[in-house]
Amino acid sequence: MARKYFGTDGMRGRVGVEPMTAATVMKLGWAAGKVLASQGNREVLIGKDTRVSGYLFESALEAGLSSAGINIKILGPMPTPAVAYLTRTFRAAAGIVISASHNPFYDNGVKFFSAEGTKLPDSVELEIEAAMDQEITTVDSAELGRAHRIADAAGRYIEFCKSTFPSGQRLDGMKIVVDSAHGAAYHIARGVFEELGATVVSVGAEPDGLNINRDCGATSPDHLRAHVLLEKADVGVALDGDADRLIMIDHTGEVVNGDELLYVLVKARIDANEMSGGVAGTLMSNLGLEHALRDLDVEFARANVGDRYVLELLRERNWKIGGESSGHIICLDRTTTGDGLVAALQILAQIRLSGESLAQLRSGMTQYPQVLVNVPMKIRQDLSESEQVQEVVQSAERELGDSGRVLLRPSGTEPVVRVMVEGKVANDVETICHRLADSVSRIIG
């Protein structure tokens, strides 16, 4: 069934433009409240990141939920994975996050977690969508929902994060630079690492409502890189605006992306005899990760791009570890969703337990050169049905052999098809990618 409001991860858009208006978000709160109330549990949590529009949408959601008879626990600025965790601990019907993740401040969004701290089932999302087209009604005054603020939410989440770090281990003697992207973890990230004994230099922790993700955090790691080198730190930790992404910097200043972090995590699980099943990546995961995991005798499978699809693949195969190159790292043996802080603690634990630096730990995986070219597409079409396109793709694949791969992926947001080629030799990859892009452009006109 086609979605009218929800995308792959809730509802998102430019503030003030449908659907991200106060009226529509209030209607969303009412619709969600109506569906949840029919299931019996009338408790919902609301967390947000640091965008100035969070105040607007928090109030709108509160009004809608209250009118449906739902009680609200207000968490204030809180990482997305923290809302997932706290929804479970409070035994709430759902958790709601007001955030546009890594997007600029002028975007915002609303996404939901179930009582189990996972994405809402499709069936529930469809019920909410159906309710959005109904007229708002208000329960009797005596049944209106009440709202109150949870004062110790940050402390509860810090303790949870620490509980995922090996018992008895500490980070004494380690210097860490943490970049919170002026986002939801600005008041939390430092405490997580300091309470485990690390010396922490905190940057990107002065949100003003407008600077979230601006030239900092996981989407702009050069900011962190400069501080790691300046401070002569052991490692750098970069989160995004809602703290569900993680990118790291090693002591030499090199960026360690999500694929490399997944490799380090898998190696750590193997060393601890905790590895079970395979690893889920995406269509964009580097071929070097697939080959490195093959050398470890670990199965690897690709999902569509998006952490929602990685989670679906993990549950389908009953696997525990997955993620994206962009830094969404999912450890289902530690928590229920992607969590930048929890993932960082798993990497730091391996650094401490192995006695090796992050630079040494990542060296077991070689990232292959990857070239991406966007080809304009006037009319959206399924290129898998074009014999001409498939012929030029197969020709490129034959030229690369087992040491490379080709991916054609229509953009979900732009009128382009993304042509990606990766392989062991950078010059060959670039030549083949541009030749393939030119051929695809000619074929599709």
* Active site (catalytic) residues: 101
Residue 185 amino acid letter:
A
Q: Please state whether 14 falls in left (phi above 0), alpha (psi between -120 and 50) or beta.
A: beta
Contact 101, 81 (CB under 8 A): no
CA nearest neighbour of 180 among 357, 33, 50: 50
Distance CA 188, CA 202 (A): 11
Start-to-end CA span in the chain (Å)? 32
Distance CA 55, CA 385 (A): 47
Contact 178, 202 (CB under 8 A): yes
DSSP codes, 233-301:
-SEEEEE-TTS-BEEEEETTS-EE-HHHHHHHHHHHHHHTT---S-EEEETTS-HHHHHHHHHTT--EE
Sequence length of the chain is 445
Distance CA 123, CA 127 (A): 6
Residue 268: CB atoms within 10 A of its CB come to 20
Distance CA 436, CA 121 (A): 40
Distance CA 122, CA 7 (A): 11
| Cα dihedral value 284, 288, 292, 297, nearest 10 | 50
- Tell me: cis bond preceding 79? Omega within 30 of 0 counts: no
Q: Where are the beta strands (DSSP E) in 308-437?
A: 321-323, 329-331, 370-376, 404-410, 416-423
